[in-house]
Structure 1
């Protein structure tokens, strides 16, 4: 039926005078989607024949929400979609790639930016595409060449670059790519398009020149032999005397000797160059076959025990955490005889997969296998024939800055060497057919965000002892990234949704190392920060600078979530309580106020002193100035001491912490259950 997309309009109230409510609707058949104006007095529009696109400009990131969030996807069965002449921003939604029946798509006259992703591989029915008058950048994706049914293409007034050869094989009748930054030669196939507009670009004039023909070297000029007769009567008229003839013979002999010597020297130079090339080729083979000494990687691994970071583990019962020897990540370089550093190919410890095998494991990346979606792409559950279950991240090529395969593989090599019990390991990858796929170990319970905010039943499973243990596990993961890895690895997207919990509620941090794919650019500000708003440190919001201390701030926000059970940003609450950090920070050192902040799902089962020390750590992490935030090693030590005190109290009292103790409810009940 006429399903609705987005939030339905409120019903007209008494006193309303002709106001307009904006609503996103589709036809009863599910074939068409328009942004429509609904007069307040009109009631329901379903069934009305008159439909016109909304022209008053719907601002914001609604299109981004529709296309990139699991709960706001564009309907895959649409055949007609017109979202033109609004103020939509962000990039083209990824869910367009699933609209296999779409025939007409109009996103023109908006503020869409960034690169066009590979969205058109399955859109064989699309006959008209209009993305004109936006701010799209980058080269045209290769998948646009698979639009077998396209007849009209409008891309004018954008900032697109590169070649347009990918459009040469399309059966177009109308093409408008004016006012972009395209370059190169104009394909000859464009001359057969009836309606084509190409002005306002940087094309080279004329048709593409043919390759230059092979030019043979000029023939050698023959030398004349000297006259050996010696008689003047036999000499031709005007010839020189015998004395001058002898001098000429001497010059010719000297030149002949010079030519011979020069040829020998040239042959020696060629031979020397050949020897050097052979030696260089052999050394390259040796370098590529050597994995322990001669490769260069941002994070190559030498396993050694960090004795000065050992933390005593006595008294940490029921934590289910094992401290493994840390992997000291040290960059290795190869130096030549001159002392200059040269870079060699980095071996990858992760397993390479084929696109076909991942398609089989994910059932062709179907909707039923979808686990979630982030700023870099979607994550699917993969069931392999051998019984293994993995999580596959399908990276959107438009969301990353490293388009070259070698650069991407270098990042994959670094990520595959991150080894820590609290970090989700990267086990495989795929770069076939311009795809960028990452394969991770599957953690199948839930994320911390889901456990805290999805339902009261799930949040009640997180006892106080478990919450402290989760904080300790994630703190150890960040300590490993910041202080054990060299160079330091900044997470840059630390949030509760990236903390996966196994069946024993042990924490596993995901997306480690992915920040290398999206450096500090305008794109990241527009996507990742919006998706993680509420976790970002003040310095990043103001200047775009993100360091390890910014990760510490985000960790403090997650600790606040564990303490209060609230979201970092919650528009459903009162205005003064919508920002968790602003609301909670002034109360962290007030004992009475602190007890009122605690998550009601704990049902009062927490020790008061432990709560106070937990709040002290939070206050240090969310300091506005980054230089006042502690390093993660200090945070780990404080959380370890907090857990050790818990075990001492348990041994002294003989009772389990966090399960049998309840905050005092009656006057006179002053028994100290804290630690």
Structure 2
């Protein structure tokens, strides 16, 4: 009897414990916290639309409370379908946090600005049709290896379609119609081996359709473009093919001819070459012009020599590539560089993303800030971009800065001084007064082109350009005012450094700056090289979010001065990459080097160059680099104000990233997306450690 009673008491306690756990989980919410944060940010970016019932920008639980259009599996959001609700605003910048999202449908709304440059990584269906999106397709589409449906029709997207489709072999349907796309169809379209439906009608595309010839298309619409040439025979046989209002030849192209020089053995054993008409054009045996033995031997020996030389060159190239790959792999250690794709059996397959091809060379202002369109006569016309920033008169800027008085001066930048300006409506802005001497070779048109481009840089970690002034020969730029000073001030002048710049905050700052670089290098076409990345150009708000300033200012320098102004604009001493000091060449990989130096500052709390230290420690990179793989040495390098409050594993991982960024050879440095990916994982681990500590 006692045993039975004890058993019942145990079962009762167990049920009570289960009930308590369940009730606690209900109180805490069931949706993954990163998913909740991403939806809250999306809601705010959509102007907190009242049409999204039960959505909120603060608190709430999407899965438990059944937010409109949200579908969950367990604690993860797998579908967002909010089409046809009349939503406005933008899509925000946190969609990439929705790691389990499969379907994103925001079609038939009034959403504007650019498509977010970072999209949910595991999307299967993306539908943004019939909105007001502008800009171009984001390069991150290249990594959506599970995507099988893409619809961006009826927006205001423009420029040439990026070559970003090489990995999208699962794509079945793609609709890019009713936009403003220009140029040729990208060559990576040929990799869409399962594409059945392609609609690109009502754009300004040109060239031929040859790249589509090998695709299994059943529905193709290319109407109302500028395509020309012959229609390939395979394409003309597509069951649903619409091609009117183009410049095609009248009839489809004939089947391809037999290639010249195809050989066939005759019944008599002689080797015969066949022409394109199928007739024998030259017979080796029994021909009056047949080759003698000597020339044949010479030809064979010459061919062998060429083959051997080609094999040697190819082998050497393979060995060099393998050596580079091994070096990079060794340098990154456990930092992931490859996207993961889950196949139908639930196993992970490694898929290396293919980024958009970028031009990393120095570009003239006109090339950098305008696009070219092919005319009907073959000529190339430069199409200037309209200036969208606000034009200020010099009087209003003088009034806001008390005639640019010393008391309003907040800093001195690469091209001039920066003042704090307060306008009559109470709005506070940062006003950069550019020295005329710095722009001695610039005319007004080029200046307006440059600021037109700068005003289109839109990223949560970039200081936006909102206005300009060109009156009376002046050159002034108006930016949003970031009130909490620079990272340089916080590192070296602030009394709050000890309590504010925790380990997790430093990782957050590094990630924000890396994301800004990723946007400049990968999203902007052509890519924008910052050229002056340093802690003084990282501004902080009250929540310690970083903002990269001076973006696009390099384009204001005259071409003849870009390679000689090392002390003034193209990187400061201590931040400049070795290749710039040697050759004056500055590319996106040079920005990565400067970013590595910046991370060393965050790690050590030391300046890049410090003459007050002993000679061996004056150069931060030279002193720190040999110690980045030694945990004991690393622990001594860390900023002492951290008081040891960091995880050793996180320290090693950050040191690995830094080590690769400051490699002397540019080709061994990672790209900005690779740095972002590594820092995201480091940040996630830091958050987990913080959460565990609070729970303990």
TM-score (norm 1): 0.49
TM-score (norm 2): 0.47
Between Structure 1 and Structure 2, whose CA radius of gyration is higher?
1
